[in-house]
């Protein structure tokens, strides 16, 4: 007969096996486990020797063992009942499914003819029979009634399937994201209840057009809120079906319309410059190069140079064009391809330029807020949105440097190759005050805009920090330090995003432009057409570029511009 050990102090009923190395803790549990088949040896703790249990402790332990046995039986019975119930339910469901196949819906031709409509157009059709197509956005079952929220891109519609309509095989197996056609009568929602649009459709006929998979491959198994960002990026085509993502894209569409309306109100024409170009605008480092029939070419960084050529032809112009930047920036506000809204105006001065930018932005926001659809979208995406107040604050570059130092906003100290310098002892990056001539980096700029909390123009950047084409300020206007030449340039900064607009007056003098090419090491020959603008009737002129995704990130309070592009591109990402 084998022996089972019990050590009341060091043993364990949960993990013990009854061996001398792994004794049980209680005699009751040991008895429950082994019954009379083994010999028991017991000790209170390690100071005592193992001994046979006394009769009275055996009696007590027997009671415990009986109790445990009862408990075990009960649990087994419960499990068996649950399994039986489950099997019955399954059988019932299968039977119901089998039965449901016999129910075939047919449209009742005696009912009034249904009017086909998009969800957004239903308000005028209340009380009537309507026909709507869409995707199953949500589904909820309640006492034999199926509530389906249908999505058709123009809005969401609550539909109610009840009675026979809810008993078909298609109804019982209807999955999210399936496409369906529904026909029924549109009623205002009962008092105290809510539904999108304030109405719901009592369906009298419906059919599946394309069913989406359930189980393993179900939509919600492929993608949900907890999905990893890289999975979300791979599945962007599914992400955009979501309420927030589609809301942002919908707002984007209205935003572009509003910009166009604002430009039209100022008689500024839209033009469509090329994407394939052979000149740079914003420095060679961020050019995407390509082979163009054996010649070097680039994807455009900015359409500015082309817009400038339109001034003598069409007058003031704007464009909405993709711009491309091959910069290895993985920040919240950088894309490799972005939608660039650019405009160019002739016979203006620097002050006119900033006033115009302010005017276009405020007009655009006013247009969006005047439309109940877009006002609603902004409210739901960005409940605390505040209309910018005019005039926008204007802060010169030199004032901004002082402001940053007053607010103890520092920047990493850099060596001559631009690498941050670390303290040898602490291994921490050295932070230093800003000085005139320093670039105001993204981090400092963001802190600044977040503290100021409203749109602010930074203007008059040193020429060294800016593009070759920018007009210099008159010497007498150059503020502060000697030897620094400032430009008639401006960046518009918005809270939460930072720079959304970059603009400037342009060099209007041919000689000055030729000198600027030289300084930058640019061969002027491919720029002959740009230089010609200064030759054949030059004028003071200026313009700007606005990052549409950045503007939208500000408007819709999105964390990153990646949420504001349909299929965002960033270093390494060009899929889907
Ligand atoms: O300041 P940037 O580089 O200016 C120009 O390209 C001028 N040639 C425009 C002009 O004067 N017509 O870019 C203008 C704006 C920035 O303020 C920013 O909003 C956006 O374009 N932008 C980007 N947006 C997303 N990702 C990037 N990598 C961006 N680079 C610039």
444 in the same domain as 523: yes
DSSP 217-269: G-HHHH--TTS-HHHHHHTHHHHTTSHHHHHHHHHHHHHHHHHHHHHHHTTPE
Residue 478 pLDDT level (bands cut at 50, 70, 90): very low
Q: Which residue reads 């001539």 in tokens?
A: 437
pLDDT over 70 (residue 479)? no
Question: Which atom of ligand 1 is nearest to 343's Cα?
Answer: 12
324 part of a folded domain: yes
Residue range 509-536: mean pLDDT, rounded: 96
473 in the same domain as 422: yes
Q: Angle of helix 243-265 relative to helix 372-381, nearest 10 degrees?
A: 130
pLDDT of residue 490: 98
Cα dihedral across residues 517, 523, 528, 529: positive or negative: negative
49 part of a folded domain: yes
φ/ψ of residue 57, rounded to 5: -70, -30
pLDDT over 60 (residue 477)? no
From atom 11 of ligand 1, which residue's Cα is the shortest distance away?
A: 544
pLDDT over 80 (residue 484)? no
DSSP 357-394: HHHHHHHHHHHHHHSHHHHHHHHHH-TT--PPPSSPEE
258 in the same domain as 124: no
Burial 474-494 (b: 16+ CB within 10 A, else e): eeeebebeeebebbbbbbbbb
Q: Which of 562, 496, 569, 564 is nearest to 248 (CA)?
A: 564
Domain CATH for 382: 3.30.930.10
Question: Which atom of ligand 1 is nearest to 550's Cα?
Answer: 19
400 in the same domain as 445: yes
Residue range 98-121: mean pLDDT, rounded: 95
pLDDT of residue 497: 93
Cis, bond preceding 413 (omega within 30 deg of 0):
no
Name the residue with higher pLDDT: 516 or 423.
516
293 in the same domain as 414: yes
Residue range 72-92: mean pLDDT, rounded: 93
Burial class (CB in 10 A: 0-12, 13-18, 19+), 397: buried
From atom 18 of ligand 1, which residue's Cα is the shortest distance away?
A: 547
Q: Evaluate whether 309 touches 530 at the Cβ level (below 8 Å).
A: yes
The residues that bridge with 431 in the sheet, in sequence order, are: 412
Question: Which atom of ligand 1 is nearest to 500's Cα?
Answer: 19
User: Which residues constitute the domain of residue 349?
Assistant: 243-563
Residue range 109-130: mean pLDDT, rounded: 96
Question: Which atom of ligand 1 is nearest to 325's Cα?
Answer: 28
The residues that bridge with 344 in the sheet, in sequence order, are: 317, 543
% the chain with pLDDT above 70: 98
Please tell me the distance between residue 131's alpha carbon and the centre of ligand 1 in angstroms.
46
96 part of a folded domain: no
Sheet holding 276-277, edge to edge: 276-277, 295-299, 288-292
pLDDT of residue 416: 83
pLDDT of residue 198: 94
Instruction: Give residue ranges with CB within 6 A of ligand 1.
Output: 281-282, 302, 304, 325, 334-335, 338, 340, 342, 499-503, 543-547, 549-550, 561
**Cα dist. 329→114, 176, 312, 334, 549 in Å?**
54, 37, 37, 6, 15
226 part of a folded domain: no
pLDDT over 70 (residue 537)? yes
Among 255, 288, 302, which is best to mutate for testing ligand 1, by the most ligand atoms less than 8 A from CB? 302
Instruction: Tell me the average pLDDT of the chain.
Output: 94
Name the residue with higher pLDDT: 480 or 171.
171
pLDDT over 90 (residue 415)? no
321 part of a folded domain: yes
Please tell me the distance between residue 378's alpha carbon and the centre of ligand 1 in angstroms.
24
Q: What is the dihedral of CA 232, 238, 240, 242, to 10 degrees?
A: -90
Residue range 315-343: mean pLDDT, rounded: 96
Residue range 245-268: mean pLDDT, rounded: 98
pLDDT of residue 483: 59
Q: How many domains does the chain have?
A: 3
pLDDT of residue 476: 53
Tokens at residue 19, please?
């061996």
Please tell me the distance between residue 469's alpha carbon and the centre of ligand 1 in angstroms.
15
Residue range 108-126: mean pLDDT, rounded: 96
Interior CA angle at 202 toward 197 and 208, to 5°?
Answer: 100
Please tell me the distance between residue 176's alpha carbon and the centre of ligand 1 in angstroms.
40
């Amino acid at each position: 007969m084998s022996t089972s050990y019990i050590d009341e102090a060091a043993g364990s009923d949960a993990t013990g096996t009854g061996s001398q190395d792994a004794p049980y803790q209680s005699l009751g549990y040991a008895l429950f486990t082994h019954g009379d088949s083994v010999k028991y040896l017991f000790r209170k703790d390690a100071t005592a020797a193992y001994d046979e249990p006394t009769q009275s402790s055996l009696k007590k332990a027997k009671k415990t063992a009986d109790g445990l046995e009862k408990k075990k039986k009960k649990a087994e019975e419960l499990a068996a009942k649950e399994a039986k119930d489950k099997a019955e339910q399954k059988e019932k469901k299968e039977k119901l499914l089998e039965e449901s196949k016999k129910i075939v819906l047919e449209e009742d031709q005696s009912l009034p003819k249904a009017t086909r409509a998009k969800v957004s157009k239903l308000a005028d059709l209340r009380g009537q029979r309507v026909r709507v197509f869409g995707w199953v956005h949500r589904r909820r079952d309640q006492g034999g009634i199926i509530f389906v929220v249908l999505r058709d891109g123009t809005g969401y519609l609550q539909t109610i399937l009840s009675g026979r309509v809810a008993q078909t095989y298609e109804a019982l197996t209807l999955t999210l994201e399936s496409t369906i056609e529904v026909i029924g009568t549109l009623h205002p929602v009962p008092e105290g209840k809510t539904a999108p649009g304030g109405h719901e459709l009592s369906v009298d006929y419906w059919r599946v057009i394309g069913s989406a998979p359930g189980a393993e491959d179900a939509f919600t198994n492929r993608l949900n809120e907890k999905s990893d960002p890289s999975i979300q990026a791979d599945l962007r085509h599914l992400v955009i079906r979501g309420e927030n993502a589609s809301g942002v894209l919908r707002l984007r569409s209205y935003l572009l319309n509003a910009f166009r309306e604002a430009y039209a109100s100022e008689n500024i024409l839209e033009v469509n410059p090329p994407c394939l170009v052979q000149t740079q605008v914003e420095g060679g480092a961020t050019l995407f190069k390509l082979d163009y029939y054996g010649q070097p070419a680039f994807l455009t960084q900015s359409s500015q140079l082309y817009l400038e050529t339109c001034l003598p032809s069409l007058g003031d112009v704007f464009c909405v064009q993709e711009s491309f930047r091959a910069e290895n920036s993985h920040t919240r506000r950088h894309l490799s391809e972005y939608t660039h809204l650019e405009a160019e105006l002739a016979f203006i001065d620097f002050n006119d330029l900033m006033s115009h930018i302010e005017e276009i932005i405020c007009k655009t926001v006013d247009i969006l807020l005047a439309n109940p659809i877009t006002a609603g979208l902004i409210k739901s995406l960005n409940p605390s949105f505040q209309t910018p107040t005019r005039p926008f604050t204007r802060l010169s570059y030199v004032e901004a440097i002082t402001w940053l130092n007053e607010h103890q906003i520092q920047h990493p100290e850099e060596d001559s190759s631009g690498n941050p310098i670390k303290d040898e002892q602490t291994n921490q990056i050295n932070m230093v005050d800003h000085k005139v001539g320093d670039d105001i980096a993204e981090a400092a700029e963001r802190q600044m805009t977040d503290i100021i909390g409203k749109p602010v123009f930074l203007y008059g950047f040193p020429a060294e920090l800016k593009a070759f084409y920018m007009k210099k300020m008159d010497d007498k206007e150059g503020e502060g330090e000697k030897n620094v030449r400032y430009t008639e340039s401006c960046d518009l900064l918005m809270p939460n995003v930072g720079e959304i607009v970059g603009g400037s007056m342009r060099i209007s003098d041919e000689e000055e432009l030729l000198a600027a090419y030289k300084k930058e090491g640019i061969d002027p020959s491919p720029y002959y057409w740009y230089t010609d603008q200064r030759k054949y009737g030059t004028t003071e002129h200026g313009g700007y570029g606005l990052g549409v995704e950045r503007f939208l990130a500000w408007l819709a309070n999105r964390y990153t511009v990646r949420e504001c592009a349909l299929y965002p591109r960033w270093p390494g990402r060009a899929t889907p």
